[in-house]
Amino acid sequence: MTQSNSPAGWQLGRRRFLELAGLATAATTTGCLPFVHLKEESPAGPLADGAIAGRTEKLGSWQDLYRQRWTWDRVAKGTHGWLNCRSACNFDLYVKDGVVVREEQSATYEASEPGVPDFNPRGCQKGACYTEVMYGPSRLSVPLKRVGERGAGQWEQISWDQALAEIGEKLVKIAEKDGADSIIHDLGPHFDNGPTTAARVRFFGMMGATLSDDWAEIGDLNHGATLTFGFPHVGGGSDEWFLSDYLVVWMMNPAVTQIPDAHFLFEAKYDGAELVVVDPQYSATAVHADQWLPIRPGADTALALATAKHIWDSGRMDLDYVREQTDLPVLVRLDTGRFLNESDLEEGGRASVVFVWDADDERPVPAPGSPDNTRQPRLDDGKVEPPIEGRFSITLADGSETFVVPVGSLLREHLEAWSFEAAAEVTGLAVEQVREFAEGFARAERPMVLSSWGSNRYLHSDQMNRAKILCLSLKGAVGRKGSGYHSTGWIETGSLGIGDKTGLAGRLALFSQIGMGTLFDMAIDRVRGRISEQRMMWELGDILGEDIACMTNAASMNLAIQGIADDLDREQDGLYPRPLSAYDREAREKDWMPRLPKDKARAWVTGGNNVLRRSNLPQRSLEHLWPELELIVDVNPKFTFTGMHADYLLPAAGYYEKRGIKYAVAYIPYLHYCDAAVDPIGESKDEWWIFWKLAQEVQRVALERGTPELDGCGKFPVDLSNFGDRFSFYGKFGPEETDKVTQEMLNNAATTDRMTVAELEKTGTQKFQSAGGPSGQPQLFNDEWKGEGVLYACTHFTEEKWPWPTRTGRQQFYIDHPWFLEVGEALPTHIESPKAGGDLPFQLISCHARWSIHSVWRDDPMMLRLQRGEPALYLNPDDAQREGIDDGDWAELENRIGKVYMRVKYSTMVRPGVAYYFHAWEPHQFPDHESYKFVTPGLMNPLHFAGGEGQLSWRFGVWEPGTQVQDTRVAIRPGRPAGQEVSS
Amino acid sequence: MTATETNRQIAMVLDLNKCIGCQTCTVACKKLWNKDTGTGYAYWNNVETLPGAGYPRNWTETGGRTDQGEVKAGSVPNLDEDYGRAWTFNHDEVRARAGEGEQKPWLRPKEKPKWGANWDEDRGEGSYPQDNHYFYLPRLCNHCTHPACLDACPRHAIEKRDEDGIVLVDQDRCHGYRFCVESCPYKKVYFDPQRQVTTKCIFCLPRVEEGVAPACARQCPGRLRFVGYLDDEAGPIWKLVHEFAVALPLHPEFDLGPNVYYVPPMSPPKLDAQGRPTDEPRIPTAYLESLFGKQVHGALRILELERAKRRRGEASELMDLLIAYDWNENFALGERKREVL
């Protein structure tokens, strides 16, 4: 090939390559951003180094040009570690001349067992072009300090030394002045299970800063599962889908949101399973279904209750399972609506013990597996076969008579109203379709429901999920291989901790922080076989988590500091007996829900979160929270909307530039390791280095100032004078030693303790050794799985017969908490979706995106070119035409909160009356930098503030109030932002 | 017509019942081969939502052959109206001018988008909820047995390789006349205005030469692509195309002998006016016939019959093949000469 044929683009590529390699110097200017990044294209394809970089190899023919492109210097193993993506996919990272030029799936997984398809080749279009983001136009590569007003876009480049010294000093001063808990560490949802998260959590945990748990606040917490099972994360591997014979995808869209796993659904169909999709939209998953149920949004509980009734009425209930595993036989007092408990029957009885009816002796007996049933601690320990229906007279301790009934009786009566006709009326489905669905469910041997994080976005999602689980439990499907409930399980990996010791010594040291009495009682219970080891460790983990860190739930925190309390009281007026704020107050008075900071938030440190992109009504945060913050720091590989409004931007290394361990959901039971394929771009640094250095600065400042011992939210003292020493475990881990940190974390969990970093560098992935535990909350409750066979969940209860971690020790369909009784939600109940924002014609419904993982790929040109380049509001063409809006036109979305603009895209998948969008567009991709979030109030269900009883107790990511977006209503009209033509 | 006989023909089968429209294939191809400035608009592999105008817009309307087998002139699609150029974006401006109140710019294409490679995504046709429908169709060069592009090139710059039937545009001989672009009825040849040559899918020639499947196939997380030689009776292609006859060429009426085959899509039942499920699929079979020819009826029937076997617990080799228990067996390209893992 001749020099004259060398395209100009290649030379450009060469120059960009130099920039990337850090040889080009970033200008330090004010008012313009000194980013080291590519303007348009990354150099991936055109780096034909033989021709251009002066090497002597000659290309023999034009075909060699192509052969040259498929060459590399070396392959590193990687994944997308610090990314809130539930898929984990092993990639080969092709490195050439110091640049990761492309990535391709490694595809080295094996089938879990014979007769089940393998997991290859996990990946998606985003993972296959992270290099575009890594070298893309929003990449941060030098530390920046704001020089104009917040949000004004005026920055100057500063050195790391300056950045860390200034931030360290501000953190110490704020901690002294307003308390360490006024420093908010807004971690999630982006996080990994490696040194990056370890550094962040260790730093802010030790400091006594407020660690916010935004699991529910982002709308991901499955309250319905926690109410029923005691924990929200249920389900095993995605290859378990393949084993079901009646697969109901019910509020999930795997073809869009679980791309590497979706194939199992369609393969199950080929294997003879019936694939059913229940979705108001004709989703990309629904197009491959055998049955698509175009349900009215928010009506899912009605469909489930009719199905449950049909299973029961048609005699397809698994009675043995229901008696043993569920609360249907547990007795409820008709006079109070509360569970009959031991203190009702005898003086000094324990309120924790619940009862079933012994039909032979005609008396209530403690339910097997009931909490504190020391004689029958396991679910199958009973000789009785308790009835699930009936009405029995009993004598209480005070001598009075009352009636008790099993939960089953109440439930049966409750279901009576849910004929196919009634469900059809509510769901908008034909009676025949409801019947076909219910009959298929009832007839199935292994029914399975996929109901993932997106199923929790209605105010009454808890009811929907309780009702779906009811259908499965009546069939005995939960905790049985190839059937049951998939709300997305987790596999736990090790952490570094926030105490002074790590490893076994650390774990032992932690026990000393627990009251000896508690520990002794637990040990006795364990020794006597009253509780399982899993359960004991689970509860210990909770106690520890609460005692050693200042954690709060983000939604509750936001209610106080983001200025949205009044909005929500107005939007939820009349929905419950009392205003939301009254429930919140009562929950705080009774210490049901933690609330930090104690007073104002003063510092906000983020990086995984993009709070102003993700929050509902971010304008309130900007108006109320932002002015009170003295320090806002974004530690991030990318420039985000929140970053635009920060004081400091610290460039974090990208996914391929640092060691990482991908967080692990159970769909793919392999640990995924990400190697540092190349050095961090520009001046970016990995978080372990950043927070290690920052910890030394904090220590230096504290020593200089003579900072006294501070209070860690009333739980522990905070000594900043040796903060840096403690952070590094007194020098055990240096700032560059992420290999040691990673190995330590691997050593700290039973799922990974035989893995080594050296081996993972070669393979990138390794199958987990067990299903997790027993020290943290993410649990699959499968004690037997040791890396062999399809992973499935909840055998701890169904096979080993340990009680479920609920009020009754059983899968619980009756919630006797006074708040639930007061509003008539004790049993799974259909409640209409309220009209947040006003009684307006369109329901604004969102889905996780095909084209981005949250906002990470949202502004990436390669991805945008495969969409329409801008955010799109999907409308049914009939609706849009009626409103006079053409495909591609601007439209205004308005409700009583405000008005925003989006371009309309026609789609026949969308139900008329629904305005549909795929989430996570940055506000600065909209006119006036105002996204749909600016009209989305995010309702909060007051019942989720409840506490004090069984599973209704605050736990990190298990039970806490959240926000719900799908009830939002808007009017949609032709309309355009100022200065724009309607179709411009 | 030039009947270009080759010793062997490499081919691909795509099972549309597993395609989820994720476009990993599109990106895999783009990242590996097609990042040149001049072909930013071009996607050797694209995925379009059907029914729809596709990419380039209304590509089915021009090119191909006359009834006499002569190459038709066809037309060259317009860069903005039909392909959609590779829009550029204003990232820097948005950040620098973020403080300018209501005048502040927002992030968007600098050029007004008129069309794009996935413009019709998820649009479909029909009335909700009775018969709205869509499906995804991934497309690449068909490496035709009788390529129109080859016949149309006055420079004889297009060859069909003897060893595997891959159709290539010789980048040294090509003078950028674009007769190939005009004549290809699938519109899978692209002009690079910067280099003044046309480019097209090379069936990942360097990979295939070393026994590695093309990037679009190997990177497909939907596991819907099979690659191998058409005459390999032990391989998946022969079985799907010939033995079970469920894999059909796209637009056989173009008469070019395409070597990319599709397992046609099944779909959930239509609902009647009262919302009751009917016996008819949502995707009109007549529409599928317009894409895949009359054989589509038989293919769909075979799929249903074989599925029914599995429902009854009986064996079905076809279903086992489409399930792809061992995904590596989707690719029958001989020994892997390069260890890429």
For chain A, domain boundaries: 3-134, 144-219+494-737, 319-413, 842-936+954-974
Q: Nearest Cβ partner of B107 from A289, A428, A859? A: A859
The mean per-residue pLDDT over the stretch A647-671 comes to 95
CA A436/CA A420 separation, integer angstroms: 10
pLDDT score, position A513: 63
Nearest-CA neighbor of A862 among B87, B80, B214, B55?
B87
pLDDT score, position B175: 96
Q: Nearest Cβ partner of B219 from A66, A128, A131? A: A128
What would the pLDDT profile of A443-483 be if each residue is shown by its tens digit? Answer: 999 999 999 999 999 999 999 999 999 999 999 999 999 99
State in Å, rounded, how far the first CA of chain B is from the last one.
43
Suggest the residue from A125, A256, A930 to mutate for an interface test with chain B (most B CBs closer than 10 A).
A125
CA A983/CA A761 separation, integer angstroms: 52
Q: Nearest Cβ partner of B24 from A125, A294, A870? A: A125
Using a CB–CB cutoff of 8 Å, tell me whether B206 touches chain A. yes
| DSSP for A181-206, written as a single string | GGEEE---SS--SSHHHHHHHHHHHH
Nearest-CA neighbor of A646 among A169, A172, A145, A173?
A145
Suggest the residue from A269, A270, A644 to mutate for an interface test with chain B (most B CBs closer than 10 A).
A270
Interchain CB distance below 8 Å, A285 and B127 = no
pLDDT score, position A704: 98
Per the model's pLDDT, the better-predicted residue between A44 and A284 turns out to be: A284
Confidence class for position A508, pLDDT limits 50, 70, 90: low
Beta carbons within 10 angstroms of residue B217's beta carbon: 28
| DSSP for A707-725, written as a single string | PPPEEETTTEEE--TTHHH
CA A188/CA A181 separation, integer angstroms: 18
CA B140/CA B46 separation, integer angstroms: 7
The mean per-residue pLDDT over the stretch B218-240 comes to 97
Give me the CATH code for the A842-936+954-974 domain, please. Answer: 2.40.40.20
Interchain CB distance below 8 Å, B219 and A121 = yes
CA B166/CA B178 separation, integer angstroms: 19
Interchain CB distance below 8 Å, B96 and A153 = yes
Contact list, B204 vs chain A (CB under 8 Å): 70
Q: So where are chain B's domains?
A: 10-84+116-332
pLDDT score, position A813: 98
pLDDT score, position A25: 33
CA A227 to chain B, closest CA, distance in angstroms equals 34
The mean per-residue pLDDT over the stretch A237-246 comes to 98
What angle do the packed helices A407-415 and A300-313 form, to 10 degrees?
Answer: 110
Least confident among A59-68, A215-224, A704-713, B242-251:
A59-68
pLDDT score, position A841: 98
Beta carbons within 10 angstroms of residue B273's beta carbon: 7
Contact list, A260 vs chain B (CB under 8 Å): 221
Interchain CB distance below 8 Å, A63 and B38 = no
User: Mind spelling out the 3-state secondary structure of A299-362?
Assistant: CHHHHHHHHHHHHHHCCCCCHHHHHHHECCCCEEECCCCCECEHHHHCCCCCCCCEEEEECCCC
CA A620/CA A629 separation, integer angstroms: 14
- Residue B41 confidence (pLDDT) above 60: yes
CATH topology of domain B10-84+116-332: Alpha-Beta Plaits (3.30.70)
Residue A168: C-alpha distances to residues A164, A516, A607, B50, B296 (Å): 6, 37, 17, 57, 69
CA B198/CA B203 separation, integer angstroms: 15
CA A493 to chain B, closest CA, distance in angstroms equals 26
- Residue B264 confidence (pLDDT) above 50: yes
Confidence class for position A14, pLDDT limits 50, 70, 90: very low
Interchain CB distance below 8 Å, B194 and A7 = yes
Here the tokens at position B209 are 């030469």
Confidence class for position A779, pLDDT limits 50, 70, 90: confident
Confidence class for position A17, pLDDT limits 50, 70, 90: very low
Lookup result for tokens 């490679």: B117
Q: What percentage of chain A reaches a pLDDT higher than 90? A: 80
Contact in structure between A152 and A645 (CB atoms under 8 Å): no
pLDDT score, position A748: 84
Beta carbons within 10 angstroms of residue B190's beta carbon: 25
Here the tokens at position A750 are 């039973």
Interchain CB distance below 8 Å, A125 and B37 = no
The mean per-residue pLDDT over the stretch A84-108 comes to 95
- Residue A3 confidence (pLDDT) above 70: no
Interchain CB distance below 8 Å, A292 and B268 = yes
Interchain CB distance below 8 Å, B268 and A270 = no
Residue A117: C-alpha distances to residues A382, A479, A690, B326 (Å): 40, 22, 43, 6
The mean per-residue pLDDT over the stretch A554-570 comes to 89
Q: What percentage of chain A reaches a pLDDT higher than 70? A: 91
Give me the CATH code for the A144-219+494-737 domain, please. Answer: 3.40.50.740
Contact in structure between A887 and A829 (CB atoms under 8 Å): no
Residue A484: C-alpha distances to residues A60, A441, A449, A471, A528 (Å): 60, 12, 6, 10, 31
Please tell me the pTM assigned to this model: 0.94
The mean per-residue pLDDT over the stretch A927-943 comes to 97
Whole-complex ipTM: 0.97
pLDDT score, position A714: 92
Contact list, A297 vs chain B (CB under 8 Å): none
Here the tokens at position A892 are 């205004």
pLDDT score, position A54: 36
Contact list, B26 vs chain A (CB under 8 Å): 125, 866
Contact list, B33 vs chain A (CB under 8 Å): 45, 66, 69
Q: Nearest Cβ partner of A290 from B133, B171, B268? A: B268
Interior angle at CA A661, CA A655 and CA A665, nearest 5: 110
Interchain CB distance below 8 Å, A138 and B328 = no
Contact list, A878 vs chain B (CB under 8 Å): 127-128
The mean per-residue pLDDT over the stretch A607-636 comes to 94
- Residue B120 confidence (pLDDT) above 60: yes
Least confident among A577-581, A697-701, B45-49, B298-302:
A577-581
A274, closest residue in chain B (CA to CA)? B311
What would the pLDDT profile of A877-900 be if each residue is shown by its tens digit? Answer: 999 999 999 999 999 999 999 999
Whether residue A121 is preceded by a cis peptide bond, meaning omega within 30 degrees of 0, is yes
Confidence class for position A6, pLDDT limits 50, 70, 90: very low
CA A160/CA A833 separation, integer angstroms: 50
Interchain CB distance below 8 Å, B126 and A117 = no
The mean per-residue pLDDT over the stretch A695-704 comes to 98
Interior angle at CA A270, CA B322 and CA A307, nearest 5: 155
Per the model's pLDDT, the better-predicted residue between A11 and A480 turns out to be: A480
Contact in structure between B82 and B75 (CB atoms under 8 Å): no
pLDDT score, position A957: 87
B173, closest residue in chain A (CA to CA)? A62
CA B228/CA B224 separation, integer angstroms: 14
CA A529/CA A724 separation, integer angstroms: 44
**Phi, psi of A311, rounded to the nearest 5 degrees:** -60, -45
Buried b (16+ CB within 10 A) or exposed e, A329-343: bbbbbeeeebbbbbe
CA B261/CA A380 separation, integer angstroms: 56
The mean per-residue pLDDT over the stretch A399-426 comes to 98
> Longest C-alpha distance within chain B, in Å?
69
Buried b (16+ CB within 10 A) or exposed e, A648-658: bbbbbbbbbbb
Here the tokens at position A881 are 């035409």
- Residue A221 confidence (pLDDT) above 70: yes
CA B69 to chain A, closest CA, distance in angstroms equals 30
Residue A942: C-alpha distances to residues A535, A576, A585 (Å): 28, 8, 11
Burial class (CB in 10 A: 0-12, 13-18, 19+), A128: buried
Contact in structure between A44 and B31 (CB atoms under 8 Å): yes
The mean per-residue pLDDT over the stretch B222-242 comes to 97
Contacts of A780 (CB under 8 A, 6+ apart): A235, A236, A489, A490, A491, A666, A771, A772, A773, A791, A793, A794
The mean per-residue pLDDT over the stretch A264-276 comes to 98
Lookup result for tokens 């490893």: A503
Contact list, A922 vs chain B (CB under 8 Å): 107
User: Mind spelling out the 3-state secondary structure of A865-913?
Assistant: CCCCCCCEEEECHHHHHHCCCCCCCEEEEEECCEEEEEEEEECCCCCCC
What would the pLDDT profile of B160-187 be if each residue is shown by its tens digit? Answer: 999 999 999 999 999 999 999 999 999 9
Residue B226: C-alpha distances to residues B137, B278, B321 (Å): 15, 33, 10
**Phi, psi of B83, rounded to the nearest 5 degrees:** -90, -50
In total, the C-beta contacts within 8 angstroms joining chain A to chain B are 318
Task: Share the mean pLDDT of chain A.
Answer: 90
Using a CB–CB cutoff of 8 Å, tell me whether B110 touches chain A. no
> Longest C-alpha distance within chain A, in Å?
104
Here the tokens at position A302 are 């009605």
Residue A490: C-alpha distances to residues A198, A773, A957 (Å): 18, 10, 12
- Residue A377 confidence (pLDDT) above 60: yes
Summary count for chain A: helices (H), strands (E)? 33, 32
CA A863/CA A254 separation, integer angstroms: 19
Interchain CB distance below 8 Å, A865 and B87 = yes
Nearest-CA neighbor of A563 among A601, A605, A517, A508?
A601
Contact list, A290 vs chain B (CB under 8 Å): 268
pLDDT score, position B172: 94
Contacts of A121 (CB under 8 A, 6+ apart): A105, A106, A107, B218, B219, B220, B221, B223, B327
